[in-house]
Amino acid sequence: MDHPCRGCAGLEAPTNGSQCVELFSPRRFDFSGLSSSSEAEVAVLRNVPVGAFLDGRLNVRIHERDILHASSKVEVLLYNAAPSSEAPEDDFVASDELILTRVVPGSAPALESETFDGATGFVDVVVRGFQGGSAGDPCVATLSAELVGKSGLENAGGRTIPILSRRLFDFSNLAASATEEVVCARAIDVSAFKHGVLVTRIHERTIGGTADLSVRVLSTWPSEEEPETDFFNGSPAAVTTFGNGNAPALLTSTLSTAFGPALRVVVRGNQPGGSPDTIMATLSVDLVLRE
């Protein structure tokens, strides 16, 4: 049988519902021209769909390599991403990598492989080189890369639920040492799911001093006898908290294993003591859920 990504003699396609995504075919990355102790990145792919994967593995084939210095390296990194139809021109990419595979001095051909989980539905692919020697010292690798997911979307029951379309939140009028919450979703039935990630896009933000905003997910379950009453657990299933910083930006938080059976989502503004600070941010929010 053929390899699940492309024809590859001697390999059998998986039979347990796994899926494979080819990220890039053999490609030469040359970072030899970097100055000593410096690095550079090559953006290889944007917004690769991986919503079908509950978890999986990044496989990097090393076809050739010429890396002279012991501390020089070439790395393949995946970053969670969450493209927005409301702002297609903006890149919403997590600042911390989802997974990193490192290529150091050694022989070729070879394979480096790392497992991952917690993908938000899309990833950006970056190759980064670091020159540990002097400028001109070889730091070259020819690589190809694939993602192999353990569960396909049709098997894993994956689903992205839009919670909040692009919306401005302004808590600047809060008094010192006060908080305020805005309910964005009262009770989303998630009883069919076991895993989830809270995805928060920051389109714009102006947050002064030590003030902060947070997106909070709480387990809840409405009552037919008292439909107007909110019954929810005070310990959040997931919280994303942020202050001032760059925008656009992407923040993610994995839901605790005991979330549900329904979820309440709120945005909270927190005004610290002392003189009130500006607390403004434009946000959009999704939940990425899997069985």
Alpha helices in 127-180 (DSSP H): 153-156
Residue 118 — very low, low, confident or very high, per pLDDT cuts 50/70/90? Answer: confident
Task: Give dist(CA 115, CA 178) in Å, integer.
Answer: 43
pLDDT above 50 (res 156): no
For the segment 221-279, what is each residue's pLDDT rounded down to a tens digit?
A: 888 888 888 888 889 999 999 999 999 999 999 999 889 899 999 999 999 988 789 99
The predicted pLDDT at position 125 comes to 97
Percent over 90 (pLDDT), the chain: 71
Strand ranges in the chain using DSSP code E only, listed in sequence order: 19-30, 38-49, 55-67, 73-81, 99-103, 110-117, 122-131, 139-149, 159-170, 178-189, 195-207, 212-220, 238-242, 249-254, 262-271, 279-290
Residue 6 — very low, low, confident or very high, per pLDDT cuts 50/70/90? Answer: very low
For the segment 9-33, what is each residue's pLDDT rounded down to a tens digit?
A: 334 444 455 678 899 999 999 999 9
The predicted pLDDT at position 15 comes to 43
The predicted pLDDT at position 184 comes to 96
User: Could you tell me which residues come within 8 angstroms of residue 15 by beta carbon, excluding any fewer than 6 positions away?
Assistant: none
Model confidence, pTM: 0.84
Q: In what order do the strands lie in the sheet with 249-254?
A: 159-170, 279-290, 195-207, 249-254
Residues 88, 91, 97, 102, Cα dihedral to 10°: 100
For the segment 70-80, what is each residue's pLDDT rounded down to a tens digit?
A: 999 999 999 99
DSSP helix/strand/coil, 155:
helix
Give me the domains of the chain, ranges plus CATH numbers. 19-155 (2.60.120.200), 157-290 (2.60.120.200)
Task: Give dist(CA 113, CA 147) in Å, integer.
Answer: 10
Q: How many CA atoms lie within 13 A of 161 on its CB side?
A: 20
Q: Which residue type occupies 78? A: L
Please give the DSSP secondary-structure letter assigned to residue 134: -
Task: Give dist(CA 245, CA 252) in Å, integer.
Answer: 16
The predicted pLDDT at position 153 comes to 41
Residues 70, 72, 78, 80, Cα dihedral to 10°: 110
Q: Beta 38-49 vs 99-103: how paired, if at all?
A: unpaired
Please give the DSSP secondary-structure letter assigned to residue 120: -
The predicted pLDDT at position 27 comes to 98
Q: Which residue type occupies 121? A: G
| pLDDT (average), residues 54-78 | 94
User: Could you tell me which residues come within 8 angstroms of residue 259 by beta carbon, excluding any fewer than 6 positions away?
Assistant: 190, 196, 217, 219, 237, 238
pLDDT above 60 (res 134): yes
For the segment 81-117, what is each residue's pLDDT rounded down to a tens digit?
A: 999 999 999 999 999 999 999 999 999 999 999 998 8
